[in-house]
Amino acid sequence: MKVAIIGTGYVGLTTGACLAEMGHEVTCIDKIKEKIENLKAGKCPIYDPGLPELVETNHREGRLKFTTNLKEGIKEAQLIFICVGTPPKENGEADLTYVEQAVKEIKEYLDHYAVVVQKSTVPVQTAQWIKQQLIEKADVAVNPEFLREGTSVQDFFNPDRIVIGTDTPRANGMLTELYKPLNTPIIHTDLNSAEIIKHASNAFLAMKISYANLVSRLCDKSKADVHTVMAGVGMDKRIGKEFLNAGIGYGGSCFPKDIEAFMATFKQHGEHPGLLEEVKKINEKQIDYVLQLAEQTQNLKNAKVTVLGLAFKPNTDDTRLSQAITLIKKLQAKGAIIKAYDPKATENAKKELTNTEFYDNVYEAIKGTDMIIIATDWPEFKTINLNKVKEQTNKIIDGRNMFDPKRMKALGFEYKCVGRNTQF
Which residues contact ligand UGA (rule: CB under 6 A)? 121, 145-149, 202, 205, 209, 243-245, 247, 249-252, 254-255, 312-313
Number of neighbours of residue 294 by Cβ within 10 angstroms: 24
Point out the catalytic residue in the list 18, 83, 219, 254: 254
**Nearest CA among 424, 368, 374 for reference residue 396:** 374
8 Å CB contact between 199 and 121: yes
Q: In this complex, which beta carbon is closest to ligand UGA, that of residue 67 or of residue 121?
A: 121
Put residue 132 in one of left, alpha, beta given phi > 0 → left and psi -120 to 50 → alpha.
Answer: alpha
Burial class (CB in 10 A: 0-12, 13-18, 19+), 95: middle
Q: Output phi, psi for 356, to 5 deg.
A: -125, 135
Q: In this complex, which beta carbon is closest to ligand UGA, that of residue 30 or of residue 377?
A: 377
State whether the Cα torsion 359-360-362-368 is positive or negative.
negative
CA 20 to mean position of chain CA atoms: 23
Q: In this complex, which beta carbon is closest to ligand UGA, that of residue 368 or of residue 379?
A: 379
User: CA dihedral in degrees (160, 165, 166, 169; nearest 10)?
Assistant: 30
Distance between CA atoms of residues 377 and 310, nearest Å: 10
Q: How far is the CB of 205 from ligand UGA (least distance, A)?
A: 6
Q: How far is the CB of 372 from ligand UGA (least distance, A)?
A: 18
Distance between CA atoms of residues 318 and 329, nearest Å: 17
**Nearest CA among 320, 286, 274 for reference residue 212:** 286
Asked about 44 being catalytic, the answer comes back as: no
8 Å CB contact between 355 and 380: no
8 Å CB contact between 284 and 249: yes
Q: In this complex, which beta carbon is closest to ligand UGA, that of residue 67 or of residue 319?
A: 319
- Return the SS3 of 357: strand
CA 390 to mean position of chain CA atoms: 33
DSSP string, 136-170: TT-EEEE----PPTTSHHHHHHS-S-EEEEESSHH
Q: How far is the CB of 124 from ligand UGA (least distance, A)?
A: 15
The residue type of 208 is K
Q: How far is the CB of 114 from ligand UGA (least distance, A)?
A: 24
Residues in Cβ contact with 197 at an 8 Å cutoff, skipping those fewer than 6 apart: 144, 163, 165, 187, 189
Q: How far is the CB of 394 from ligand UGA (least distance, A)?
A: 26
Q: In this complex, which beta carbon is closest to ligand UGA, that of residue 250 or of residue 415?
A: 250
Q: How far is the CB of 349 from ligand UGA (least distance, A)?
A: 15
Distance between CA atoms of residues 356 and 340, nearest Å: 7
Q: In this complex, which beta carbon is closest to ligand UGA, that of residue 103 or of residue 279?
A: 279
Q: How far is the CB of 173 from ligand UGA (least distance, A)?
A: 25
Q: In this complex, which beta carbon is closest to ligand UGA, that of residue 17 or of residue 134?
A: 17
Q: How far is the CB of 206 from ligand UGA (least distance, A)?
A: 7
Distance between CA atoms of residues 82 and 92, nearest Å: 21
User: CA dihedral in degrees (45, 51, 52, 53; nearest 10)?
Assistant: -170
Distance between CA atoms of residues 406 and 386, nearest Å: 14
Q: Output phi, psi for 87, to 5 deg.
A: -65, 165
Q: In this complex, which beta carbon is closest to ligand UGA, that of residue 249 or of residue 343?
A: 249
Q: How far is the CB of 91 from ligand UGA (least distance, A)?
A: 20
The residue type of 345 is A
Q: In this complex, which beta carbon is closest to ligand UGA, that of residue 27 or of residue 286?
A: 286
The residues annotated as belonging to the active site are: 254
